[in-house]
Amino acid sequence: MHLLWPLDPHTECTKRHQILCCDNIRKVAATIDAPIVLHSGSGIPDAQILEAISSGIGKINVNTENLVAYTHAVRNYLQENSKATDPRAYQGAGREAMRKL
């Protein structure tokens, strides 16, 4: 099972006020026989990471928020610049989105 740290792709990804709901992680872990993966682990406070692990998280992926921000920015750039063909332009938009994290 995969859990993604909740991000709204239509807002700045740096505005994170969510807290991992470890009660839900424990409930899911108790009902399935599969590892639980937490995506977007970068930036989650250490105390929450430790609680998530003790609640049943078996793997934590980092960098997901960068991939989501990059992809969202590139998609937006290409929608707004439909004739763009230079990857340096749309990749620049993606890199800038990751810098803002």
When pLDDT is averaged across residues 52-67 and rounded to a whole number, the result is: 90
How far is CA 93 from each of CA 50, 66, 67, 69, rounded to the nearest angstrom? 34, 12, 13, 10
Neighbours of 93 (CB within 10 A): 19
**Count of structural domains, the chain:** 2
Whether residues 50 and 78 fall in one domain = no
When pLDDT is averaged across residues 52-60 and rounded to a whole number, the result is: 94
When pLDDT is averaged across residues 60-85 and rounded to a whole number, the result is: 92
Please check whether residue 5 lies inside any domain of the structure.
Answer: no
Whether residues 58 and 75 fall in one domain = no
pLDDT at 52 over 60: yes
Quote the domain boundaries for residue 30. 16-62
Percent of the chain predicted with pLDDT > 70 = 82
Check residue 20 and give its pLDDT: 80
pLDDT at 44 over 60: yes
pTM for the whole structure: 0.55
